[in-house]
Amino acid sequence: MSKFLEVNNLSISFPTEDGVVKAVDNMSFSLEKGKTLGIVGESGSGKSVTSLAILGLHKGSTAEVSGEILIDGQDINAMAENDVRLLRGKVMSMIFQDALAALHPYYTVGNQIAEAYLVHNKVSKSEAKKRAIEMLDRVGIPEPQKRVDDYPHQFSGGMRQRAMIAMALSCNPSLLIADEPTTALDVTVQAQIIDLLRDLQKEFNTAIILITHDLGVVSETADDILLMYAGKAIEYGTVRDVLQKPQHPYGWGLLTSIPRLTGDPEKSLAAIPGTPPSLISVPSGCAFHPRCSYVKQVGTACSSSIPDLLPVSAGAHHLVRCHLDTAAREEIFRSQVAPNL
């Protein structure tokens, strides 16, 4: 049986005046109901563009999307805009990073949640409002009967994100995409929101794609991790594999750059040298090679050919895109990376 969500060979590019931007290049991943996939990468790595494609939100724009996005066997990418529209909010929905910008400033929170419910359900306005109150209650907004008539700016940051979640879940979707849901929030509220998502996932058996650059959040919530760099998947596996036995030099860089309470306070944090590449002129070969410390061990292959996304060992579900061979990676990890974790 095929999985609930299957993305096969997804590529997304945007024609611009300066050239074609390859935002996502040949991505494949899958997700079961009730499970969480964390997509991790820095700004511009293609995380959000991927998630918008799963909702079919690139339709009608200049973006060129190729590949398959199968939800319950239906290919979103091949469907007409109007057919995808009927699935949005109902089968798959999304919560956005900046809830203040993502909520309409001139409509009440209740109105916006009820609207999401009304599109997909043949109910009266008062029933939809009742649903809005119920959802606000469910996501932990106190006095939902009163707050339902508030405008977004009257909510605190955490409450706005809760309201977004209430809106996204109002039709019990099977897939929820959370695009950096906690980035704009302070740490205690972040934890509350993550807990809330986890509880709701248990209750409704929702599949969640969590898009973030925060490895801490992923380690707490995700089952699988997909690491992205310059529009490509560079490492894909279970949380345990990717975080405890990371295989890609970029992943090593991310992990060693996390400050630790037990570390030496005088020592400066490890950083990955250089900056993420421009997607118009992606470096030749492995896109990460200009920033990679291990190019010398491999030689010219790094700058001349793009490595494939291959299993770490035969039959393993842990995939990595790197020219270093497994033995070399294990040696580097043991001697240079692990001591710094």
By CB under 8 A, residue 101 contacts other proteins:
yes
Stretch that binds other proteins, among 96-104, 219-227, 261-269, 274-282 (CB under 8 A): 96-104
Q: Interface with other proteins includes 63 (CB under 8 A)?
A: no
Of 55 and 287, nearer to other proteins (C-beta) is 55
**Looking at 137-145, 160-168, 216-224, 290-298, which segment touches other proteins (CB under 8 A)?**
160-168
Q: What is the nearest approach in angstroms of other proteins to the Cβ of residue 234?
A: 28
- The 3-class secondary structure across the chain, one letter per residue, is CCCCEEEEEEEEEEEECCEEEEEEEEEEEEECCCCEEEEECCCCCCHHHHHHHHCCCCCCCCCEEEEEEEECCEEHHHCCHHHHHHHECCCEEEECCCHHHHCCCCCCHHHHHHHHHHHHCCCCHHHHHHHHHHHHHHCCCCCHHHHCCCCHHHCCHHHHHHHHHHHHHCCCCCEEEEECCCCCCCHHHHHHHHHHHHHHHHHHCCEEEEEECCHHHHHHHCCEEEEEECCEEEEEEEHHHHHHCCCCHHHHHHHHCCCCCCCCCCCCCCCCCCCCCCCCCCCCCCCCHHHCCCHHHHCCHHHHCCCCEEECCCCCCCEEECCCCHHHHHHHHHHHHHHHC
Place of tokens 């061990």: 297
- Residue 106 interacting with other proteins (CB under 8 A): yes
| 154, 284, 300, 304: residue in contact with other proteins (rule CB under 8 A) | 154
Site for other proteins in 167-186 (CB under 8 A): 167-168
Sites for other proteins among residues 123-152 (CB under 8 A): 151
Q: Which stretch binds other proteins (CB under 8 A): 32-40, 115-123, 213-221, 252-260?
A: 115-123
State the nearest-atom distance from the C-beta of 60 to other proteins, in Å. 8
For other proteins, the binding residue among 40, 94, 169, 233 (CB under 8 A) is 94
Give the total of residues touching other proteins (CB under 8 A). Answer: 29
Q: Is 198 in the site for other proteins (CB under 8 A)?
A: no
Closer residue to other proteins (CB): 45 or 93: 93
Q: Does 85 bind other proteins (CB under 8 A)?
A: yes
Nearer to other proteins, 100 or 282 (CB): 100
The least CB distance from residue 38 to other proteins, in Å, is: 20
Residues that bind other proteins in the complex, under the rule CB under 8 A: 55, 57, 85-90, 93-94, 96, 98, 101-107, 115-116, 119-120, 151, 153-154, 164, 167-168
